[in-house]
Each structure stands twice: as C-alpha cells, then as structure tokens.
Chain A
Amino acid sequence: MIRTQVGYTGGTKENPTYHDLGDHSETIQIVYDPTRISYEELLDVFWSTHNPTVRPWSRQYASFVFYHDEAQRELALKTKAQQEARRGAIFTEIVPAGTFYPAEGYHQKYRLRGSDLMQEFSTMYPDDANLVASTAAARVNGYLGGNGTCEQLQEELDSLGLTFTGQDKLRQTVCSDR
C-alpha cells in the first residue's frame, strides 16, 4: 500500500461534502505497488471485510467496485461470480471509476488522528495534504485500526519516521494484543 484516501465517488454531484453528499458513495481509494500486492488480493480483502449480501439501504453506504481498467473489471466480475456461488445474491455493483472527491481532512487517517502519535506526524507533515499522501501515515493508521501483525510492524518500524517514544507506543499497541 503506497497511499490510502477516503472520499466520495460514483455520483454526479460536483464537489460533494460529508454533509452534502448528493448521489455519491463513501469510498476508499488505494494506490498500491502491483509488484507487492495484486488487485485480486485487494479484492479478497474487499469481499471479506464487509457484507455484500445485504441490500444497501442508501447509496451513501452501498457496495461498489470502481474499476480503473478492463483487467480490474474482469477480475471484479469473476470474483463477484465466485462470491455469488458461495454466498448467494451479491448486491455489489461493478462500475467504471469516475471523479474521486477526497473527503474532508478530519476523515482522513482517522485512527491516527485520534492517537498520541498524531503529534509526531503533524511535526513531520505540517501540511495536511502531505500527511494524507504519506505511506507512513497510512501504515500507522492501519496498525492502529487493528490491521497488520507485530512481526510486520517490527520489520518496518524504523522506516515510519517515529521517535523512539513513538515507536515504543506503537509497538505496545500492536504487539500487546496481536
């Protein structure tokens, strides 16, 4: 994962906001290194981390795959068919990716913003746009959100730009309960 960003897409309203979303859906956009993780692996995570068998009660919280090219479309359709065979009706729509509108800053890196480590990242990245684009911030946000293992963290801890105190805090959080 190089970069993650939450935002709004799939609708027609220009410049939507959280309180004026129009016909968009809440989405996550991931920029990734295809030599480290494949789109199919991302789809595995997508299908296993939400319940696409429930009919969405609003477009804001619907299930979508927004494909960026033909290869993504084919993989999305193939894996959706596999899910249907296993789980029954799947309400996920597979549609071409359109304009992506980043959500407001306070929605980005949500777990990180609520933690003690945010102060260190604010020092590293006084400009919020750089924080949102940071791989380190995305990784730390992910660990704080309960993802990743202690072993994975140990491997990359030195590259995350944290002070020794920050490293200890993150290590304690991740390694004490995983």
Chain B
Amino acid sequence: MSRKLLIAGLLTTIAMIALGAIYFGVSRKENTMEQTHAENTNIPAIDASAPARTETATFAMG
C-alpha cells in the first residue's frame, strides 16, 4: 500500500513539474513576443517603407 502511495506521489510531483515548465515556457514566449511587438511599434514609419531601388554615392569632402 505504502509503495503504491509513494509511486502515486512521485507521478503527481513529476506531472506538476511538467505542467509548471510548460506554463512558464509559454508565459516567457508570450512576454518575448509582446516585447518584440512593443519594439516594432516604436520603429519610425519612414524606416518601415523602403524604396524598390536604391543607389549608392560616396564622397570625400576635405
């Protein structure tokens, strides 16, 4: 009887640890996504619109 109880207790503990890991993993991922979204919303509109074609010019002006 006590052996069965011990096994049941162990299984419950493992299940709780697994659930905890999943919960915190998801929660952290959501936070990261929120931060990325927040950073993106700060990007100036002018930087978000790139022209189709660009050229480069290089000068030295003394």
> What residues make up the interface of A, taking CB atoms closer than 8 Å to B?
2, 9-10, 25-36, 39, 42, 46, 49-52, 54, 56, 61-66, 68, 72, 97, 100, 123-124, 134-136, 139, 156, 158-162
Contacts and interface: CB of A to CB of B under 8 A. Distances in A.
A123 B44 CA distance: 12
Contacts of A9: 58, 60
B62 A62 contact: yes
Given A68-B56, A136-B44, A50 B51 contact: no
A127 to B, nearest CB: 10
A100 B54 CA distance: 17
A120 B6 CA distance: 59
Given A49-B61, A139-B46, A159-B45, 9 more contacts: A28-B58, A29-B58, A30-B57, A34-B54, A46-B61, A61-B60, A65-B58, A123-B42, A161-B47
Given A135-B47, A159-B45, A50 B53 contact: no
A134 B46 CA distance: 9
A50 B62 contact: yes
Contacts of A97: 56, 58
